[in-house]
Amino acid sequence: MPSEDHQHAYTGNGAHAMAMLRNLAIGLIRLAGLTEIKRTLEWIAADRMRILPLLAASTP
């Protein structure tokens, strides 16, 4: 049985919270002027420190 079957992040209010965080992340990426969301998320996943300049670019 795969380990993701035991994931409890999507029970109760967890699914709603995860969806809100995902939408927030996508919104910040768009505010930074990027349009290739999937490619950007993969780029950030390779090195989590890459998010910092992106977040700074999304602030007014």
- pLDDT value of position 37: 92
- CA dist 46 and 41 (Å) reads 9
The reported pTM is 0.64
- pLDDT value of position 15: 80
Q: Where are the domains of the chain?
A: 34-60
Series of mean pLDDT values for 10-residue runs along the chain (60 residues): 59 82 89 90 90 78
